[in-house]
Structure 1
Amino acid sequence: MINLKQEAAKAALQLLKPDQLIGLGVGSTIAYFIELIASSISFKSSLKFISPSFETKMWLKENGLVCIDGSTQATLDYYFDSCDQLDMHLNAFKSGGGVHTGEKIMANMANQFILLADGPKMVEKLTTKYPLCVEIIPEAWLSVRKELRSSYSTMISEIVLRKSEQKAGPLLSERGNFLADIYFSKLPDIHELNKQIKHITGVVEHSLFYQLCSVCLLATADGVIHLTANRAEK
């Protein structure tokens, strides 16, 4: 059986050129990409990488690739990442990793933000299959939860604060904030959702990537399809 995640990663290799500065997200597809770069790119020593993910930084170092401090950079040639789900306009949910704040920073730094995805993740419209993950300043947790429940009273089924598996208490983001998963019974209009969640005091960022991705390399059983964002919607 074809490993579609590996096929998407292989297609991304064709975009790399010497001396580029590359941003990377997190996930198994990105792990494949790193391994392929390390094993098959002749000019890999000229490439520099940054990532918001501790896990990805470790993968880079373990594969002998140059990982630098992202705070010293203003622009990237490419930002590559995977996702949980994406729609026909390349809007995406990136909820699993919980590092979406840093990922969005890099997406905005990049000349091109490229999603590496396997076919089953593509849907016509985003669904409620995955939660919206929200990074929240700890002191604002209860007030943010109250406002969310008030604003989306007929659409939210539950709001769950992520808990640490290794110690008692909440799981903290890379920035020391809480992460909460919002499970919708009905997904609000994503254009409005993108704006409204950000306007709640105490919310740092959320995991809906709305109109950020420019290109998707979508791996299917028939090959890799290069998709360009269509911004015809709101």
Structure 2
Amino acid sequence: MGIIMASTMKINKDKLRIVTEVLFLILFFFLFRNNSLQRWIIFFGAGIIISVFTGRFYCAWACPIGTMMRPISWLYKKLQIKRLKPPSFMKKSWIKWGLLMLFIVVMIGTKVLKIKFNLLLYLTLLGVLISLLFEEELWHKYICPYGTLFSVFTRPAKYGLKIIEEKCISCGKCEKVCLNNSISILANKKRKISNKDCLLCFKCQEVCSVEAISFAKV
């Protein structure tokens, strides 16, 4: 599976990603209209199961919020508009877990009490609004309830983006383009990708001039 995925993504990953994003955006449109809790649970459950093997593939290739963040990021880059860094208090682990619990309680509660409230639609709008002011890391790593679950279930993933330390020239280009700040600096100035936080957007691989980043067994 890893070999097939790696070779496929090497063939114009950006176009392939746009196609998958559009297809999933259409799917989400129908799910939003139907607003069926059971269908959402099945969809999200399937995504979590897949993430155990492939990592956070869903985040960069299927998530509607990530899809809508793309043109915003592109425009901001063109206009050289800098967004705010995530507030330090949001990095406390209890906050993201508290938000996840709140999301679950509201989602189930509205169904039990038969309150017409499309939580996932408003969650999507919230994600887009946050991306207008803050770097995407704030949403992906600290607010998104699905992202919080992914950070746990992707830990045993066998495949992901990996920096070959022997090839790395410590230029830091990969670190600068990472959407989720998932690349850390080692003691020897080389870089390392955190598999549980990596969104698999492949931007780091695209900017690496020495081809030190590959999709491989981690």
- TM-score bracket for the superposition, by shorter chain length: under 0.3
TM-score, length of structure 1 as denominator length: 0.25
TM-score, length of structure 2 as denominator length: 0.26
Greater RCO, 1 or 2 (C-alpha within 8 Å, sep 6+): 2
Q: Which structure features the higher share of helix residues?
A: 2
